[in-house]
Copies of this chain bind each other. A is one copy, B any other.
Amino acid sequence: MADPKTEEILAPLRAAVKEQGDIVRNLKAAGAPDLDVKKAVAELKLRKKVLEEKELSLAPAATMFDRAKMEDLLKRRFFIDQSFAIYGGITGQYDFGPMGCALKANLLHAWRSFFVLEEQMLEVDCSVLTPEPVLKASGHVDRFADLMVKDIGTGECFRLDHLIKAHLEKVALDKKTSEATKEECKDIVVKLDGMKKEEMSQILQKFNIRSPLTGNELTEPIEFNLMFGTQIGPSGLVKGFLRPETAQGIFVNFKRLLEFNQGRLPFAAAQIGNAFRNEISPRSGLIRVREFTMAEIEHFCDPSNKNHPKFDSVRTTPVLLYSACNQMDGKSASLTTIGEAVDSNLIANQTLGYFMARIQLFLIRIGVDEKKLRFRQHMSNEMAHYACDCWDAELLTSYGWIECVGCADRSAFDLTQHTKATGVRLAAEKKLAEPKIVNITEPVPNKAAIGKAFKKEAKGIMEVLSAMDPVTVGQLEEDLASKGEHTVSLNGADYTLTKDMVMVQTHQKTVHVEEIIPSVIEPSFGIGRIMYALFEHNFKMREGDEQRTFFSLPPVVAPLKCSVLPLSGNPEFQPFVKKLSQELTRCDVSHKVDDSSGSIGRRYARTDEIAIPFGITIDFDSLKAPNSATLRERDTMGQVRISLDELPDVVRNLSFGKTTWAEVEEKYPKFEQQETTKAA
């Protein structure tokens, strides 16, 4: 990114972004009307996009990658393919075949070791079917929706903002359109992002927008919620949804988890599981799908202290940060360390920084190309409703930079919402540094007077008084002082309390703890997207033979660790193959025996395609004492000769990262047979 020629080309684009970024800043600082800011931000985003696309097109690596070739390999060796293909298939749904499934299982196993076990997180496994009130409280029922319209004749659906945009852009390009109308069209397009249903409906009518496919009329705009709905139980009365994220399962279990952790903060809970989103038009392969696996962490901590005890262990981690500020200024991402970024408050707190460093370390360990990894900060206008700071780990693919891991500070949003909805206080107790004397102001009822006045309602009224919140107590005190009475509601009826029935008293109490609603730091991993990026980052061609492609996945996630190949169909090889296979199983090394009839070169090529990092060949020398075999490494195609006794443990150590190929090559004699690079 620091190539001077490239920078020369990019300079005017960067300047254009900065110019617009400054305009946005000034508008905000001046407290300009919302719509003006919105319009300026839309223009800013557009300029950012032009800059980013240019940047990507100038990067030398980007031209090397052949997506069609990779997708062919993924399909042909059944890493992944469309679900229900023999029934015509459903867009946005994929099945993982044996190799995709093994990669996924290994990736999740690595994730669990790296996060759950190493950090002693509390992993949970919660229900997918979620009753409506839970998702009402979390905001998903109301906000997790897109507007759409349907063709009255065919029922075809269109996302409303996309439809209006396409139509108005066409109108604006039409020579017959007046300048005033053109301006109006452009203005609407910029403002679309924040428009309400009614405004859009009026635009539909004003411009007489019809179905672009049939010319038919369209329905009124419909709010299309992206959650899959269903009925729980037979009555049809309990509405439920497939969860759109796994996080809510953790929040509703907060009290149990806090108790499990003996009431102490901070602690982190984690969950791996499927989530579902009924996308209107899924696309981009694995990147935007209707069902997907997530791995989410919710780290609960004291909102007034977001330091992390292990922060020093990651302080020097270098990270490529694309801050909101840099984005507004048209600058590119810049390299710094997690420690510097937290010290300078670019990253809001240590815990957020700690997780970002850990996320990066994990991604690199499982095979992400570190040169294609950056953290992008959300700009304030794109932050989710629950977040107060958010950095996405983005991976560069042929689709551009895609968000693969979100790392958000959700503050106390979710716990507060569920507390409001259920009345169950999702809070923790924090021990005060020293005991505090506080004034408690509360209603003191005259039981006898209330009992006499309200008979069997008296008990309920007493309960209303004892549960009264501080604001209402203030009101009560004021009412009694000014009017001599105060009215309370109970089961829909009003009851007037007079001075002789209740008074308000203030007394002092020594407290040792205070109740706090924890803040939540949430790293959220999209497993399918990470897998897709892994495929792209590890798709390689052998030098000089473009037909010979392979995946250079590291052993820790490779679907299988080892292949066992008898040189030929000679029956003398069989007992050795069988024994070796048993030994590898005993060592927990997943492997594949390929005794099909192809040449060794051809079978190596086949195992390379499915990313098997190590290959053992039983040949005629294996039959003689001391029995030995060749061991080959996929990426270098180097081979060594090792005795059969030692082999299983060597492969085990290589597979689990306890030793490196370089160490093995140093220790054992090189096997010098030239491997043919052409698939024989």
Stretch at the interface among A16-24, A63-71, A588-596, A631-639: A588-596
B122, B235, B278: the one contacting A232 at CB < 8 Å is B278
Q: Is A77 an interface residue (CB 8 A)?
A: yes
Which stretch of A101-109, A197-205, A435-443 is in the interface?
A101-109
Chain B residues within 8 Å of A128, by CB? 274, 276, 291
A418 at the interface (CB under 8 A from B): yes
Q: A125-B101, A290-B129 are in contact. Are A120 and B592 (CB under 8 A)?
A: yes
A95 near B262 with CB under 8 A, answer: no
0/1 string, A561-600, CB within 8 A of B gives 1: 0000000000000000000000001001011110010000
Tell me if A131 counts as interface (CB < 8 A to partner B). Answer: yes
Question: Is the CB of A364 closer than 8 A to any CB of chain B?
Answer: no
CB–CB A256/B97 < 8 A: yes
In the complex, the answer to whether B155 meets A290 with C-beta atoms within 8 Å is no
A93 CA / B129 CA spacing, docked (Å): 8
Q: In the assembly, what is the distance between CA of A90 and CA of B252, in Å?
A: 13
User: 0/1 per residue, A291-334, Cβ < 8 Å to B?
Assistant: 10000000000000000000000000000000000000000000
- Binding-face segment, A80-88, A400-408, A484-492: A80-88
Question: What's the Cα separation between A259 and B259 when bound, in Å?
Answer: 52
Q: Enumerate chain B residues within 8 angstroms of A228, measured Cβ to Cβ.
A: 129, 230-232
Q: How far is the CB of A45 from chain B (nearest CB, A)?
A: 26
The stretch from A111-119, A455-463, A503-511 touching chain B is: A111-119
Task: Report the separation of the CA atoms of residues A224 and B155 in the bound assembly, to the nearest whole angstrom.
Answer: 28
Neighbour of A102 across the interface among B95, B123, B276, CB < 8 A: B123
Contact status A280-B233, CB under 8 Å: yes
Nearest chain B residue, comparing its CB with the CB of A241: B230
A residues 126-144 in Cβ contact with B at 8 Å: 126-131, 133-134
Residues in B whose Cβ lies below 8 Å from that of A93: 127, 129
Residue with the highest number of chain B CB atoms closer than 10 Å, among A150, A253, A588? A253
Q: Which of A165-206 contact B (CB under 8 A)?
A: none
Q: How many residues of A are in contact with the other chain, CB < 8 A?
A: 86
How far, in angstroms, from A290 to B129 measured CA to CA in the complex?
A: 9
Flag if A113 contacts B588 (CB, 8 Å): yes
Contacts A123-B98, A129-B276, A234-B224 given: A134-B418 contact, CB under 8 Å?
no
A113 to B237: give the CA distance in the assembly, Å: 43
Contact assessment for A257 and B78 in the assembled complex, using a CB-CB cutoff below 8 Å: yes
Docked complex: A399-436 residues within 8 A CB-CB of B: 418, 421-422, 424, 426
Complex contacts, A590 vs chain B, CB 8 Å: 117
Partner of A84, one of B104, B131, B276: B131
Are B126 and A257 closer than 8 Å at their CB atoms? Answer: no
Do B112 and A105 touch (CB < 8 A)? yes
Query: Is the pair A95, B123 in contact by a Cβ cutoff of 8 Å?
Result: no
Interface of A is mostly: mixed
What residue of chain B has the Cβ atom nearest to residue A129's Cβ? B291
CA distance A91 to B233 in the complex (A): 9
Residues A95 and B230 in contact in the complex (CB < 8 Å), given A101-B123, A120-B592, A588-B117: no
Tell me the smallest distance from the CB of A336 to a CB of chain B, in Å.
28
Query: Does the CB pair A230–B230 fall under 8 Å?
Result: yes
A278 touches B122 (CB 8 A): no
Q: Take A93-B127, A253-B95, A596-B262 as given contacts and tell me if A235 and B87 are in contact as well, using a CB distance cutoff of 8 Å.
A: no
Tell me, in angstroms, the Cα distance from A238 to B591 when the chains sit together.
Answer: 41
Residues of B close to A102: CB separation below 8 A: 123
Which one of B85, B86, B97, B262 lies within 8 Å of A257 (CB-CB)?
Answer: B97
Tell me the smallest distance from the CB of A245 to a CB of chain B, in Å: 15
Residues of chain B within 8 A of A259, CB atoms compared? 78
**A247-285 vs B: 1/0 string, CB under 8 Å?**
001001101110110100000010000101010100000
5 A-B pairs besides A90-B129, A97-B253, A105-B123 with CB distance below 8 A are: A95-B127, A97-B124, A224-B234, A232-B290, A234-B278
Interface on A for B, CB 8 Å cutoff?
77-78, 81, 83-87, 90-91, 93-98, 100-102, 104-105, 109, 112-113, 117-118, 120, 122-131, 133-134, 148, 150, 155-157, 224, 228-238, 240, 242, 249, 252-253, 255-257, 259-260, 262, 269, 274, 276, 278, 280, 290-291, 418, 421-422, 424, 426, 585, 588, 590-593, 596
Please provide the 9 A-B residue pairs with the shortest distance between their CB atoms, ordered closest to farther. Answer: A96-B125, A98-B122, A83-B127, A157-B234, A95-B126, A101-B125, A86-B424, A93-B127, A86-B422
